[in-house]
Chains A and B, each alone.
Chain A
């Protein structure tokens, strides 16, 4: 039988691995299904009650505490504002992924508008909205806020630092280089520590913004130091002839920069930039260390009260899946850009 000859060890191993993994997946999937659906409890007042009513997942905790994870301590009656604000940021993020939007003169106003409307919505005080202090912002809404504010401040800063290091005079480029290297060799926690705890001892309190603003500034500087290296790589890779061509056309320095250099550099480093942005999104969870109630900290806060303490798997699963949705779609987008860049490069 000629067909049998085609069965090689490789094919057998492949088949065995398929069967084994499918079996494992089916087994785990079944276990998970029984835990999460069949034996799950949807309605209870505490984990003790959950345990009485069923042996599976205690989804009641999500019903009771899910609000905390999504919106932190934001007043319940004003919750629609947090939902709307979060949606604005999401829409802005999705729009930024579209090709025609990827120009500085479109991205900058888009994000400025998104951030301003988000801040106005969340803090209130205008249009008859009751004021909500930034200290009670939390959950996913706070994560979004820190994330987008970090990019808003960090990205222009990164461009400036990269330009200063690449084409600035030596008295500027060398200290900048030292600063970037210093920041890159200490953990993010150290920078947040400086912003939250040390800065108030150095500077008069009138000059300080609120703690959240300072922490966001710290995040932005950290992001800018890493992103500036990415941009600098692009600047170094850019053909010198581009600048010279611009000069021979009689363009000014500013025009050469904004019309010739930066657009090409950004196209070049877009995949790495998206990687940096994915990292920045995950890094927002570091505010939990400084004592803010972002999505990560809210998760443990939701468990803090004794009655839900043993439902940690359910809560962490919820938060993990939320991070996964945003993080995974961003990294898929990054992978797509990378493949496209590869194709363009090979052509």
Chain B
């Protein structure tokens, strides 16, 4: 930017200022027109919807207002996107390792998988998995394994009666473990005092979380029970969610594997040889030498993958999953407010994507700083 300004012919500073203002004013004017000129009215958000949403993570009934329906869709999109992303990264990482295993047969198998999966539209894949899942046995003849049931309505898992309390205890445990780890390694660091202090604070917070969880925990697990034509209790993961998430995982993992592979390739071979000559095992070389260095290359494209993943969840409507897009379409036809529904949809995706980019940039900065040290 600076060099361009230096090269540009001298013009009155006022002209430059005007142009800068104009460059912001045009999109702003467009937005203002959309808001005021198109007669937007968000009043419908307080009306009750009169339609139902199947099995949302937060409760919903036909009497609930539209804003709650949008909230359900928003949460559903985040849950589906996050679940798919976590498993796609795990699968992609494993595929990348298999692809670099040096065993031609396995490498060929992985390549075949990725060639097939990458060239078929993900919509078709989701529809295929949905059809498969719908053709599973009905609840009455549900397959069962270890207390869990699988039927054409979904997977039923044993689940703590008070999941929030159980989660708090788990979180507290993790925090205390991390604190202990930091305390033990503090001696080797440059600022042991500060590290010890932060570790102690973390441990106290963890203990508090555990105590809070314990106080509210009912030490019972809700087991799914077949009853009549259905299955009650337990945690039900609906087939719609399963079909969507399964398709997204299998589809994007093929791309994420390529990202990991490129990242591993960017680590110089000397690093691996050095690790080996130090006597590190293959596993240690992978997780302590190659992966940390590869992450610098991997994180930026992985950020775009996260954003992309959230965007693709919007195909959920075709398998009946009530995500943000599906709710917006419903709301726009039922309340006859399409412009407002679209704006909420766009804002919802923008919020999610901006959060992803912010978090990943934070991670990225930490990692590249570590690399420079």
Contacts and interface: CB of A to CB of B under 8 A. Distances in A.
A17 B105 contact: yes
Q: State the main secondary structure of chain A at its contact with B.
A: helix
A182 to B, nearest CB: 8
B349 interface: yes
A174 B23 contact: yes
B131 A278 contact: no
A169 interface: yes
A158 interface: no
A190 B345 contact: yes
B346 A288 contact: no
Contacts of A185: 307, 311, 349-350, 353
Given A187-B325, A189-B325, A278-B119, A201 B349 contact: no
A324 B116 contact: yes
B112 to A, nearest CB: 10
Interface string A102-128: 000000000000000000000000000
User: What size tier do the contact residues of chain B reach?
Assistant: 35 or more
A299 interface: yes
A300 B317 CA distance: 14
B235 interface: no
Contact of A190 (B26, B124, B307, B346): B346
Given A21-B105, A197-B338, A320 B128 contact: yes
Contacts of B104: 14, 18
Contacts of B9: none
Interface string A310-326: 10110010011001100
B121 A324 contact: no
Interface in B294-315: 307, 311-312, 314-315
Contact of A186 (B121, B311, B339): B311
Contacts of B123: 285-286, 288-289, 296
Contact of B329 (A197, A283, A328): A197
A114 B251 CA distance: 33
A316 B131 contact: yes
B204 interface: no
Most A CB contacts (10 A, CB to CB) among B122, B123, B346 go to B123
A193 interface: yes
Interface residues of A, number: 53
A316 B124 contact: yes
Interface string B80-119: 0000000000000000000001111110110000011011
A42 interface: no
A158 B349 CA distance: 24
A13 interface: yes
Q: State the main secondary structure of chain B at its contact with A.
A: helix
Contact of B115 (A20, A21, A189, A328): A328
B35 to A, nearest CB: 13
B119 A17 contact: no
B338 A175 contact: no
A316 B127 contact: yes
A190 B23 contact: no
B124 A319 contact: yes
A327 B120 contact: yes
A198 interface: yes
Contacts of A278: 119
Contact of B102 (A10, A179, A190): A10
A67 interface: no
B120 A190 contact: no
A202 B120 contact: no
B26 A282 contact: no
A331 interface: yes
Given A289-B318, A299-B124, A323-B124, A22 B105 contact: yes
A177 B209 CA distance: 46
Contact of A193 (B23, B105, B120, B328): B328
A170 interface: yes
Interface in A199-213: 201-202
A35 interface: no
B318 A187 contact: no
Contact of A171 (B22, B346, B349): B22
Interface in A254-297: 278, 282-286, 288-289, 296
B36 interface: no
Interface string A225-261: 0000000000000000000000000000000000000
A178 interface: yes
A324 B311 CA distance: 23
Most B CB contacts (10 A, CB to CB) among A190, A283, A312, A328 go to A190
Most B CB contacts (10 A, CB to CB) among A20, A189, A197 go to A189
A193 B342 CA distance: 8
Contacts of B27: 175, 178-179
Most A CB contacts (10 A, CB to CB) among B108, B132, B307, B338 go to B338
Nearest to A319: B124
Interface string B310-336: 011011011000000100110011000
A285 B122 CA distance: 9
18 contacts: A18-B104, A21-B109, A170-B19, A170-B23, A171-B22, A185-B307, A185-B349, A197-B332, A202-B38, A282-B120, A283-B121, A289-B123, A289-B318, A312-B135, A316-B127, A320-B120, A323-B121, A324-B116
Interface of B: 19-20, 22-24, 26-27, 38, 101-106, 108-109, 115-116, 118-124, 127-128, 131-132, 135, 307, 311-312, 314-315, 317-318, 325, 328-329, 332-333, 338-339, 342, 345-346, 349-350, 353
Given A14-B105, A190-B314, A324-B116, 12 more contacts: A18-B105, A21-B105, A169-B19, A172-B23, A175-B23, A189-B317, A190-B325, A190-B342, A190-B346, A198-B338, A310-B135, A320-B124
Top 6 nearest A-B pairs (CB, nearest first) are A327-B119, A174-B23, A285-B121, A187-B311, A312-B131, A187-B314
